[in-house]
Amino acid sequence: MNRTSLLSLCVAASLVACTERTSSPTAGVDSGVAAAPVAPAAPGKGQTPSPAPSTEYQGAGSPDAAAPGSATAEAANADSGVGEYTGAPAAEKGTCSAASLSPRAAPAAPALPAPVESMRQRIIAAAVACDYTALNTLADENGKAVRFTFGDGTDAGEYWRAAEKLGNPELARIVKVLNLPYAKQDNLYFWPAVHVTGATSDKDWGALKGVYPDDEIAGMKDQGSYLGLRVGITPEGDWQIAVAGD
């Protein structure tokens, strides 16, 4: 073998050795230099990148479930036997005396017949929503209107709206009275109970605190009878009375 052939063989052998060392999977370790991270391959033509994780709220068990606090969720969770009125004009919402009160009635003891309890709770909800139209609807739901004055008025909603504008807390009184103990007389469940049983003790009069100012309660106490607002509902759920006076 001549000198030129021998030199060619040495060069070829060196190239093979270099190629094997470069392709070795442990090359980075052997050389003391960590292998550079491999960037993810860009999607090829016709391929769709994987979507990013969704941050939109999904209700348990259903992708169409409404998020908590939304109008849809509130409607879904509402007690269909009670309901809460939210149809009051925007200009009136939150403007009546009952707006800051709870729309949920305090538990009645003993328990009321279902139609009576339903009407009681819906009256409270409508009053808290300042929804005079809904109050009129409830008044006519099972009968012909409600006695709300000893005068000539025929529209309870308009009567209460006018009274509220004059500073008389009619709707707040309706809500507060319906949260007091009740008593049954003839064919009506009455709130407060003292309208039927009579206010005969300081405890009876004390229960009315917050419904009327102290001076008005003292005046009724001096007269010996409760002449304030009373609400009456029949066993069938017909709202018949929401009137004060004698």
Question: Is pLDDT at 163 greater than 80 in this prediction?
Answer: yes
**Residue 5 DSSP code:** H
Q: 84 falls in which pLDDT band (50, 70, 90)?
A: very low
Average pLDDT over residues 123-129: 97
Question: Is pLDDT at 3 greater than 70 in this prediction?
Answer: no
pTM above 0.95, yes or no: no
pLDDT in tens, 204-221: 999 999 999 999 999 999
Return d(Cα 125, Cα 103) in angstroms, integer. Answer: 5
Q: Please, which residues have CB within 8 angstroms of residue 246's CB and are 6 or more apart in sequence?
A: 227
Return d(Cα 246, Cα 43) in angstroms, integer. Answer: 85
Return d(Cα 219, Cα 124) in angstroms, integer. Answer: 27
User: What is the three-class DSSP state of 141?
Assistant: helix
Q: How many residues does the chain have?
A: 246
Return d(Cα 17, Cα 148) in angstroms, integer. Answer: 106
Return d(Cα 55, Cα 22) in angstroms, integer. Answer: 45
Question: Is pLDDT at 24 greater than 90 in this prediction?
Answer: no
Amino acid in position 57 = Y
Percent of residues in the chain assigned helix, strand, coil, to nearest 5: 40, 10, 50
**pLDDT mean across residues, the chain:** 73
| Helix 156-165, helix 170-178: angle, nearest 10 | 110
Question: Is pLDDT at 175 greater than 90 in this prediction?
Answer: yes
Buried b (16+ CB within 10 A) or exposed e, 155-189: ebbebbbebbeeeebbbbbbbbbbbbebeeeeebb
Range scoring the smallest mean pLDDT among 24-28, 157-161, 168-172, 233-237: 24-28
Asked if residue 127 lies in contact with residue 174, where contact means CB atoms within 8 angstroms, the answer is yes
